[in-house]
Structure 1
């Protein structure tokens, strides 16, 4: 009888891309969309991969082991790590565009041809390449494309699409492998998409519940193994990118209002589709031009060579890549050395057009880097950014704030769940104990100022229930209740981790 192909490595050290997490799991398993043995029947290409995930969950429970799904290893936090079974999902990268009417609920009002079924291991790059040649694209993504779709969604990855939100905010359905090796399809009751016959055809239990969906979509591997997601792709468009440099005082007012009229951007008072500000915290005085404003307008598509298929890393698009080779800086040199790095990597550009897959291209990670990211309400953004600048000038370290804006998320524990607009403040830095100390000082300063803030699940954070509740409040209990409604005690343990326990969510 045929069985799914699973390759196994034991006692192998695993490290994430940024060098912040290293662990030796009991088993590191690769799951493939391949059957081995006789009796293989025709069926969906993704069927063996699903069977492999189900088998591994059953095995983990039988052995009383924890199990976590591993994507692109992009998270700086230990969200994917466990000493039990780690499942490499990158080989599960099947993508299919378009749904038949029979597979859709009669209440679905979107475009069936734009519905995209993406297996968990499909990378953001693979999705851009697949979609763009078919005239579609992702509604938004993060600043780089190395993450898998499941990893990006489940940790709350975002860009700066103020009218759309983060990546989880356009997801319509989740195909999850849960306790006992069962699998279910989760979607909102208020926004049904697939038909019961579709779920019957794939053998999944249909669960329609807004609270469950909103909790599961950003659950960092804790609700089960995410096999696939469903979303509605957007017709292909271009992003016209510019980057200008100006005094921090000039941009300061816009940071808490998104009123860009005084900035003299090329689109006038129109708020760009993507609006981002990088600040050199040591050059905020008049005449120092310490603010780098990167903005992109959404434009109708026209043929261009700037597409995902030919994209390489676009200089400056992922500020995390800048500092990986910076080591050994003494604190008093930081204000001097940071300026040439920022000015070189964030060079001025004007009106460079490309598809989203081109503009958010491949990040070339180099060296040991760290980053933390916080979310705050739009109105609190100026005070929060000022807190970061104050900490930097009292305690020099090789980081800086990179500020973006997204529509507030409905996901229960999304770190961008500030309504109507969330401001995100990323702190990319070279890896060092001093950087860790700086992060803690920033978090303490924000709280001392009474600013409510959340922390990005895929970046370095304070793993503490009380601090998480400070940002999320009653949402923490709502998330836990949803997890308990989906998983029994065995499943909650199996999909737990030391990191989850440290966060007070295990």
Structure 2
């Protein structure tokens, strides 16, 4: 049986310990041993459709769960049936005779919905291929990372959902294979998955980032690029006001030449202490892409500069000694962040996947972010730091860059984006400071969006205002996939209902 019940009604807590489902009945979707992925999908999708019918008959809402990674409560649904997909995680090659004319099957992989970002990356790299972006960690399921708009940070790329070329989604009405209008997989392949093809650009753009509200995603076709190496540079440097203007203008080469290497970087990250941000050293991280070669010396994620959990060690101190917050934040950055190689160190190289790591649970940490138009960076940065300096809150401010991402509800919706993250100890003081940041950006009329999987302080009216016509198109796509209002409610929760996604 591809779906098994794991436990009677009870409590489930997400990976980071930041949200709990009460009175939840847990089920698991598991991979089988079929030789062909399409055969597995046909069996699993039919089982999911029967499971949805049983849930509806029992009067229970449903929530598919991958790794339970989201620190926000976007994956929390009490009084519901939970479907764990983590063990539905096989990946399959795609044959040239399975794709539409003009599609290169060598770039594609069929991925079951429970596969972790780490697993997808490893499978691709074993075939000489690579993801081109992802979030800072690799412990999310690929489907879950896409569903919440995990942003990625390669300066010429969008979000992780940009890798998706087709999606299988199961609803009570049917098993749908959703692609762009130009098509990806041929009709014969789609038929063997038990799906009905839906080749439509709006449906596909909605399904790339569904926020858990369009049905149960059971599989994806994931695109890739040839494997490449990255060289990290990581250091502590004071950043002056002029450098903020370079970043706002997208002059990453100039910024890199001033603080690292005189060449075009593929990734730029700046972590600052909001208490005297231009007077205290910032933690800078750069990645430089190079052609693949097999003779490089493999490094650990830590040697490549992955991971930045030092604040979890200092959370209690930051809360208990607010008068020393600026100094303690700087100590955390110096001790925990500057672990990667600097310019004068022997070069270290790794694949994209080797530079990712799995964070330990972050229950004691506060996570939030805003995404703004890159052109507004200098003004927004100074306003944000001033808010924290004036009102408290023990977070660092992390700035990264990316291009517009695919998907109608992608937070990275500006042509050129700055993603500003706020990570620190979980406390009411920190949450209040973030709320004041939001108020300040609104008061200054700086447009921004928020990460679906982090603390976001969103409601339905704000979602509609932030996403405008794209939100209307997303809801229209939802209504085509789920024409029965009762079925939209089936995939809802208190959080998703409040965001206007399921009602």
TM-score, normalising length: structure 1: 0.91
Query: In the alignment, which residue of structure 1 is the partner of 2:258?
Result: 264
Query: In the alignment, which residue of structure 2 is the partner of 1:33?
Result: 31
Report Cα offsets for 1:111-156 as digits up to 9, x if no partner: 3122111111100111122222221111211111000000001111
How do residues 98-177 of structure 1 correspond to structure 2 at under 5 angstroms? Answer: 99-108=94-103, 111-177=104-170
Query: In the alignment, which residue of structure 1 is the partner of 2:436?
Result: 441
CA-CA distance at 1:440 after TM superposition: 0.8
1:393 aligns with 2:389: yes
Query: In the alignment, which residue of structure 2 is the partner of 1:374?
Result: 370
- Select the residue among 332, 337, 341 that pairs with 1:346: 337
Distance in 1, matches of 2:398 and 2:167, equals 31
Provide closer, same or farther for how the CA distance between residues 25 and 71 of structure 1 changes in structure 2, counting only shifts above 3 A: farther
Distance in 1, matches of 2:211 and 2:303, equals 28
Distance in 2, matches of 1:18 and 1:357, equals 22
1:195 aligns with 2:189: no
Tell me if structure 2 keeps the 8 A contact 1:335–1:396.
no
1:59 aligns with 2:54: yes
Query: In the alignment, which residue of structure 2 is the partner of 1:500?
Result: 496
Provide closer, same or farther for how the CA distance between residues 74 and 127 of structure 1 changes in structure 2, counting only shifts above 3 A: same
What secondary structure, in the 3-state scheme, does the structure 2 residue paired with 1:402 have?
A: strand
Distance in 2, matches of 1:60 and 1:279, equals 48
1:9 aligns with 2:23: no
What secondary structure, in the 3-state scheme, does the structure 1 residue paired with 2:271 have?
A: strand
Provide closer, same or farther for how the CA distance between residues 23 and 198 of structure 1 changes in structure 2, counting only shifts above 3 A: same
Tell me if structure 2 keeps the 8 A contact 1:312–1:362.
no
How do residues 221-232 of structure 1 correspond to structure 2 at under 5 angstroms? Answer: 221-232=212-223
Report Cα offsets for 1:141-189 as digits up to 9, x if no partner: 1111000000001111122112221101121001111124x21110111
Which sits farther off after the overlay, 25-34 or 236-245? 25-34
Tell me if structure 1 keeps the 8 A contact 2:45–2:194.
no
Query: In the alignment, which residue of structure 2 is the partner of 1:243?
Result: 234
Query: In the alignment, which residue of structure 1 is the partner of 2:325?
Result: 334
TM-score, normalising length: structure 2: 0.91
Distance in 2, matches of 1:33 and 1:192, equals 27
Tell me if structure 1 keeps the 8 A contact 2:310–2:333.
no
Query: In the alignment, which residue of structure 2 is the partner of 1:361?
Result: 357
1:73 aligns with 2:68: yes
- Which structure 1 residue ranges, 4+ long, deviate > 6 Å from structure 2? 40-43
Distance in 2, matches of 1:284 and 1:400, equals 10
1:472 aligns with 2:467: yes
Report Cα offsets for 1:316-360 as digits up to 9, x if no partner: 634356326512433212112111101112215234211111112
Tell me if structure 2 keeps the 8 A contact 1:138–1:234.
yes
Give ranges in structure 2 of 5+ residues lacking alignment: none
Query: In the alignment, which residue of structure 1 is the partner of 2:405?
Result: 409
Report Cα offsets for 1:445-478 as digits up to 9, x if no partner: 1111101110100111113122223422232222
Q: Aligned Cα RMSD in Å?
A: 2.4
Distance in 2, matches of 1:315 and 1:43, equals 37
Distance in 2, matches of 1:385 and 1:42, equals 47
Provide closer, same or farther for how the CA distance between residues 320 and 437 of structure 1 changes in structure 2, counting only shifts above 3 A: farther
How many correspondences in the alignment? 490
Give ranges in structure 1 of 5+ residues lacking alignment: none
Provide closer, same or farther for how the CA distance between residues 102 and 315 of structure 1 changes in structure 2, counting only shifts above 3 A: closer
1:432 aligns with 2:427: yes
Query: In the alignment, which residue of structure 1 is the partner of 2:270?
Result: 277
- Select the residue among 75, 88, 108 that pairs with 1:92: 88
Query: In the alignment, which residue of structure 1 is the partner of 2:289?
Result: 298
Distance in 2, matches of 1:502 and 1:267, equals 47
Distance in 2, matches of 1:41 and 1:231, equals 17
What secondary structure, in the 3-state scheme, does the structure 1 residue paired with 2:320 have?
A: coil
What secondary structure, in the 3-state scheme, does the structure 2 residue paired with 1:472 have?
A: helix
CA-CA distance at 1:304 after TM superposition: 5.5
Distance in 2, matches of 1:137 and 1:41, equals 22
Report Cα offsets for 1:355-382 as digits up to 9, x if no partner: 1111122223354112111111111122
Provide closer, same or farther for how the CA distance between residues 410 and 126 of structure 1 changes in structure 2, counting only shifts above 3 A: closer
Which sits farther off after the overlay, 396-405 or 249-258? 249-258
Provide closer, same or farther for how the CA distance between residues 453 and 41 of structure 1 changes in structure 2, counting only shifts above 3 A: closer
Provide closer, same or farther for how the CA distance between residues 360 and 474 of structure 1 changes in structure 2, counting only shifts above 3 A: same
